[in-house]
Amino acid sequence: METALFTANNIWMMLCTGLVFFMHLGFSFLEIGLTRQKNTINILFKNIFIITVGLLLYYIGGFNLMYPGFEDDDLGLLKFAGFGIAAPDGGMTPAYADGGYTWWTDFLFQGMFAATAATIVSGAVAERVKLQAFFIFTIIYVGIVYPIAGSWQWGGGFLSTLSYGSAEGFYDFAGSTIVHSVGGWAALIAVYLLGARVGKYNEDGSANAITGHSMPFTTAGVLILWLGWFGFNGGSVLSADPELTSLTLVTTSLAAAAGGVSAMTVAFFRYKNLDLTMFLNGILGGLVSITAGADQMSPNEAVIIGIIGGIIIVFAVSLLDKLKLDDPVGAIAVHLGTGIWGTLAVGIFGGLASFDQFLVQLAGVGAVAFFCSVSAFIILVILKKTIGIRVSRNEEVEGLDIHEHGMDAYPDFRLNQH
């Protein structure tokens, strides 16, 4: 019986690993759909780079940096278990991880999460970032910054033991902060340092809409991401526990639906049109919002969290435009704005709700914000002062596909390039 349960748990976790991997297709479709035809290959190239190099970096040292085996007398800030991966004794038996999965499955599932953080940055800096600079940033951020931040919570570091009053530890079930905000803070810093795309803002500060070239791709991307989130959140149960996995998938879906409907509704009353991009990003906002507490919430609470997440999307996009922070795909609003909200929601709703828990959640958000923002700023400023982080105006206007890759995504079907 124990062997059968162990096998079933591991199969579920491997299925969830595949679903999280599938999310990278969703991110790719979303990003190319919301940007212009002339930069399609560039965006696809970045996304393929992220998943391939990200997985190798996690193998080389990221996994052991994120799960270093903190001891009771450690500060829980930084520790490294060594380069490479090798299964420990009992790593393929029910003795590992309470029989939820094997050590190899653990590595691969967590490796898929690692690459997601850099994908968030990719969308925000689309259409004007230098490819070489983005590569270097990704290597450092995914290889070092993300695993350190992750170790603070999922690796048994100081956030997991941070207590105040009745609250015992920061809680982030599947990564509203540890994945989404980690990517979101980097995206915010990168967009600030890069500057807006040519033609995005007028001298009076008003914004011009730079429309993407394929809303069908964008819609397909969001639906793929929603499907992938079943693995992202469902796999974070870390077993095939029938009650918790089914509850998690229900709260995930309800929050997504509520986020989409609320963003669509608020955008309609605010802008007097039915904006598909707001509808779609509202779905993603609902998904990110529920990610921190998907296993703790009732269906009713999931709907409320999703509704607020969708509202945040509409106003965050507007705020970014007022600040002249050009994010072509809405990554900052989705992953940072609702990532913060979802993390704080754990202290307001669900089984852990209390003022003490809210304060612990707030402290965790602040710690990750400081570390990731400062790290991203240092990396990007050094790159900006050395090799540069932005392409020339001519390259940007003509398109990165031709200048960076010498290729056209649609050689026999040209649309309006500008």
Please determine, for residue 176, whether its predicted confidence score (pLDDT) is greater than 80: yes
Please determine, for residue 289, whether its predicted confidence score (pLDDT) is greater than 60: yes
Average pLDDT (357-382) is 98
DSSP per-residue string spanning 319-385: HHHHTT---TT-HIIIIIIHHHHHHHHTTTSSTT-SHHHHHHHHHHHHHHHHHHHHHHHHHHHHHHH
Digit-coded pLDDT (tens) for 290-308: 999 999 999 999 999 999 9
Determine what percent of the chain is predicted with pLDDT higher than 90. 91
CA 274 – CA 269 distance, rounded (Å): 9
pLDDT at 418 (0 to 100) = 46
Q: With beta carbons less than 8 A apart as the criterion, state whether 306 and 254 touch.
A: yes
Beta bridge partners of residue 390, listed in sequence order: 129
- Domain layout of the chain by residue ranges: 2-77+97-405
Average pLDDT (176-183) is 97
Torsion angle, CA of 184/232/178/386, rounded to 10 degrees? -50
pLDDT at 117 (0 to 100) = 84
**Residue 167, phi then psi, degrees to nearest 5:** -85, 130
* pLDDT bucket at 204, cuts 50 / 70 / 90: confident
Digit-coded pLDDT (tens) for 58-105: 999 999 999 998 988 788 999 999 999 988 889 999 999 999 999 999
Under CATH, which architecture does the 2-77+97-405 domain have? Orthogonal Bundle (1.10)
pLDDT at 411 (0 to 100) = 85
Contacts of 334 (CB under 8 A, 6+ apart): 180, 184, 281, 284, 285, 288, 313
Q: With beta carbons less than 8 A apart as the criterion, state whether 256 and 308 touch.
A: no
Beta bridge partners of residue 164, listed in sequence order: 167
CA 313 – CA 337 distance, rounded (Å): 7
CA 395 – CA 392 distance, rounded (Å): 5
Mean pLDDT of the chain: 95
3-class DSSP string for 167-195: EECCCCCCCHHHHHHHHHHHHHHHHHHHC
Please determine, for residue 405, whether its predicted confidence score (pLDDT) is greater than 80: yes
* pLDDT bucket at 414, cuts 50 / 70 / 90: low
pLDDT at 413 (0 to 100) = 64
CA 391 – CA 10 distance, rounded (Å): 45
* pLDDT bucket at 240, cuts 50 / 70 / 90: very high
Average pLDDT (102-128) is 93
Please determine, for residue 415, whether its predicted confidence score (pLDDT) is greater than 60: no
Please determine, for residue 324, whether its predicted confidence score (pLDDT) is greater than 50: yes
Please determine, for residue 417, whether its predicted confidence score (pLDDT) is greater than 80: no
Please determine, for residue 412, whether its predicted confidence score (pLDDT) is greater than 80: no
Average pLDDT (390-411) is 93
Please determine, for residue 384, whether its predicted confidence score (pLDDT) is greater than 80: yes
Which segment of 17-21, 60-64, 91-95, 229-233 scores lowest on mean pLDDT? 91-95
